[in-house]
Amino acid sequence: MSFLLQKKTRMSFGPKNLLNVHRVLHLKTNVSLFPSRWVYKHNLSVKPAKHHLVCVRVTQSGDDLERTRPLAHFSPTIWGDHFLSVPLDVAEFNNLSREIEVTMKPKVRDILMSFKNGDSESIRLIHLLMNLGVAYHFETEIDEILNKTFGNVEDMIAQQDDLEIISTMFEVFRLRGYYMSCDAFNRFKGEDGNFKESLAEDIRGMLQLYQAAHLGTPSEDIMDEALIFTRHHLESLTGNHAAIVSPHLSTHIKTALSRARYHNLEILATREYISFYDQEEDHKETLLKFAKLNFNYCQLHYIQELKYLTKWWKDLDLASKLPYIRDRIVEVFLGALTMYFEPRYSLGRTTVAKITAVATVFNDTCDAYGTLPEVTSLVDAFQRFLSLIPIPSIPFINLRVGKLTCNFLLSRWDLGGTEKLPSYIRIVFGSVFETLEEIKQEMRPRGRSRILQVVVDEMKKLARAYLALSKWSRESHVPTFEEYMEFGMQTSMDHFAAYSFIAMEDCDETQMCEWYNSKPKMMEALNGVFRIKNDISGYEQEMKRGEVARGLNCYMKQHGVTKEEAVEELNKIATDYYRIIMEEFLTTTAVPRPVLVRCLNVSRPIDLFYKGSDRFVNHVELKEVITSLFIHPIPL
């Protein structure tokens, strides 16, 4: 499909009209104000114009074109090459691994599997291991316990009237994929149908119910009621009645109210919980030590991966070639960490980070620098590459991109056409395909070629959506909210989930691809919640640079409401999407639980990155988080 430009004096850009476009013409005269110093040190040819400007041939005059350029001014990286200089002691690495595997794991396994544990105690132990970030060491043992206890869940509920225990059971069963009914919470309601006010005296029970309330599905109104009820009372405990709560518990409550456990990165929630558990008088020393050792061991993996990614990013040198982009390799890695924090997924994290980094460059080119003809030429180039996977009878040709010679499968495109692309667009184009080729070469021996093709297809879809949104914004056209979401949802989180599948070698690739390509509701919900939260957080900045085709603005214009009213309504829609994600997690059988966990985890960092502000743009706000995860180990 070719995406080309059509000039009209007035036009509506809904999905029916998107393809009314024609070829971008490249004139020989007008130049853009894109300094050649911004595109040095690359292997693609640059055609200089006078005054050392790179020639960009367009249909408009240079001045007219430049006035449409949506210049953003992203702050530079605060990390630079920092992680290249962070020491990494191999001996410490090996010692930690040995102590965890040989000394601590057997002790913790004995505690978990002790015959002295009743069903309720076993579930509380599993819950504790989950919160401490060490449950992944005991997947087989946990499945064995829960398979046994879930068959007896109705009797267990009938014998309990403890709010904390029931809420803990609900959380553990649901997160392990067992559908425990929310009817268990009806016992805590009074005759008026509301939760009993006396429950407020059980502080830990209220806190646990608050966390469990985030795991409801669309039809479970009682979970919404529980969330409102618990938040109200917990907020009072951190305010006027803070004196009746111990300082460390008060801090723990404030942390939960700021960002619930399941709207947070798993490893960050673990870091916070270890600090809390360390101050609990009745903590189990063996479990606490194991959790600290495990976190520090994970951190060493992350530092090693950041060293590798920092060098990879530095070698690409895109931050100097394309100074308009967000230079965010550390923050990108933080995003990749959301999907899997366990050490065995090291390759997955670095792979996701690479793809996300070049996708961010592509995004910034479309949103924050490129003119419409330039964006159109970039997207058109993307569509003309059909595949990275061999198909019989269709020839390959070699394309030199950066340091690599890439074997790309082509159709009906004369590669000579790349010479007509603006020079900086060729850098963007080349960085994406160089990265995909690098990943392809790494994954081919592992038999992961099919899921990589899904990623390529997703990036092409992403490109088409970026073009539609860019076209609307450059024309100052505000579509309806529904029209916007049709394309906005394609620039969201489902492709991020697809990236995570690449390195999941313990899951059947064909099964994952078929499920993903079936457009499951879980992906739609992930897209919806991300798109809404992202649009709310970035509203002011995007309006300043003329990006009028954004969800919040579209909703305001369509319904004639204030920003505050629109935010309130959109947050309700986002909450519904979160409920759908949980429902799909519990009911989907087409793929195994590890795949669904990755998708669930994709939704977890949205609040961290986009609640209150866009922290991927305002990245200084993530400094404390990054420091706690990647720089400071937990004292033993």
Domains and CATH numbers, the chain: 36-81+295-630 (1.10.600.10), 113-283 (1.50.10.130)
Residue 348 pLDDT > 70: yes
Q: Tokens at residue 214, please?
A: 């985030």
Query: In the predicted model, what is the mean pLDDT of the chain?
Result: 84
Contact criterion met (CB below 8 Å) for 579 and 495: no
Q: Would strands 396-401 and 404-410 be described as parallel, antiparallel, or unpaired?
A: antiparallel
Q: What is the DSSP code string of 31-81?
A: ----BGGGG-S-SS---EEGGGEE----SS-HHHHHHT-----PPPPS-TT
Mean pLDDT, residues 277-289? 96
Confidence tier at 634 by pLDDT (50, 70, 90): very high
pLDDT the model gives residue 62: 60
The radius of gyration computed from the CA coordinates of the chain, to the nearest angstrom, equals 26
Amino acid at the residue 364: D
Q: Which residue pairs from 106-109 have beta carbons closer than 8 angstroms and sit at least 24 positions apart in sequence?
A: 107/286, 107/290, 108/134, 108/137, 108/138, 108/286, 108/287, 108/290, 109/138, 109/141
Find out whether 207 and 250 touch, Cβ atoms under 8 Å. Answer: no
**For residue 61, what pLDDT is reported?**
54
User: d(Cα 265, Cα 284) in Å, to the nearest integer?
Assistant: 24
Label each residue of 79-96 as H, E or C. CCCHHHCCCCCHHHHHHH
Question: What gap in Å lies between CA 578 and CA 218, rounded to an integer?
Answer: 9
Q: Taking 80 as the threshold, does the pLDDT of residue 332 lie above it?
A: yes
d(CA 92, CA 545) in angstroms, rounded, equals 49
Beta strand 53-54 pairing with 48-49 = antiparallel
For residues 108-116, give the mean pLDDT: 93
pLDDT above 70: residue 11: no
Q: How far apart are the first and last CA of the chain?
A: 58
Does residue 423 have a pLDDT over 70?
yes
Top pLDDT among 42 and 457 is at 457
State the average pLDDT over residues 161-170: 96
Asked if 65 contacts 348 with a C-beta cutoff of 8 angstroms, the reply is: no
Residues 6 or more apart in contact with residue 77 via CB below 8 angstroms: 319, 327, 328, 329, 330, 619
Q: What are 72's two structure tokens?
A: 């953003």
Say what the pLDDT of residue 241 is.
58
Residues facing 408 on adjacent strands: 397
- Mean pLDDT of all residues in 34-52: 31
Amino acid at 455: V
Q: What is the pLDDT of residue 38?
A: 29
pLDDT at 396 over 60: no
Burial bucket for residue 111 (CB in 10 Å: 0-12, 13-18, 19+): middle
Of 170 and 493, which is predicted with more confidence? 170
pLDDT reported for residue 418: 62
What's the CA angle centered on 409, arms 405 and 413, to 5 degrees? 100
8 A C-beta contact, residue 454 and residue 498: yes
3-class secondary structure, 448 = coil
Residue 195 phi, psi dihedral angles, 5° rounding:
-65, 140
Is the pLDDT at 406 greater than 80? The verdict is no
Q: What average pLDDT does the segment 367-393 reach?
A: 73
What SS3 class is residue 29? coil
Q: What's the average model confidence in pLDDT over 623-628? A: 96
Residue 610 has pLDDT above 80, yes or no: yes
Side-chain-side CA neighbours of residue 111 (13 Å): 19
Nearest to 289 by CA among 167, 111, 154: 111
Q: What is the pLDDT of residues 293-324, one digit of tens each?
A: 999 999 999 999 999 999 999 999 999 999 99
Out of 8-22, 81-95, 366-380, least confident range: 8-22
**pLDDT class for 405, splitting at 50, 70, 90?**
very low
Report pLDDT for 446.
86
Most confident of 25-34, 244-253, 326-335: 326-335
Specify the pLDDT at position 71: 78
Q: How many CB atoms lie within 10 A of CB 45?
A: 9
Q: How far apart are CA 261 and CA 211, in angstroms?
A: 7
Q: What is the pLDDT of residue 240?
A: 64
**φ, ψ of residue 155 in degrees (nearest 5):** -65, -40
Band (pLDDT 50/70/90 cuts) for residue 157 is very high
Give me the percent of the chain exceeding a pLDDT of 90: 67
Q: What are phi and psi of 208, to 5 degrees?
A: -70, -35
pLDDT (0 to 100) of residue 417: 56
Type of residue found at 143: D
Total H helices, total E strands in the chain:
28, 5
Model pLDDT for residues 501-514, shown as the tens digit of each residue: 988 888 999 999 99
Tell me the mean pLDDT in the region 534-545. Answer: 89
Tokens standing for residue 245: 């709560």
Dump the DSSP string for 254-322.
Answer: HHHHHS-GGGS-HHHHHHHHHHHHHT-TT--HHHHHHHHHHHHHHHHHHHHHHHHHHHHHHHHTHHHHS
> Nearest to residue 267, comparing CAs of 288, 297, 306?
297
pLDDT of residue 243: 62
> Could you tell me the two tokens for 269?
């929630």
Distance in angstroms (rounded) separating the CA atoms of residues 75 and 620: 9
Of 251 and 59, the structure prediction assigns the larger pLDDT to: 251
Can you give 352-403 as a three-state secondary structure string? HHHHHHHHHHHHHHHHHCCCHHHHHHHHHHHHHEEECCCCCCCCEEEEEECC
Of 379-383, 502-506, 560-564, the range with the highest mean pLDDT is 560-564
Q: How far apart are CA 324 and CA 374, in angstroms?
A: 15
pLDDT score of 149: 94
Backbone φ, ψ for residue 58 (5° rounding)? -140, 175
Higher pLDDT, 51 or 625: 625
Question: What integer pLDDT is reported at residue 448 of this predicted model?
Answer: 83
Of residues 497, 490, 451, the one with CA closest to residue 604 = 497
Three-state secondary-structure class, residue 617: coil
What is the distance between the alpha carbons of residues 539 and 532, in angstroms, rounded to a whole number? Answer: 11
Do 500 and 535 contact (CB within 8 A), yes or no?
Answer: no
Average pLDDT over residues 416-444: 85
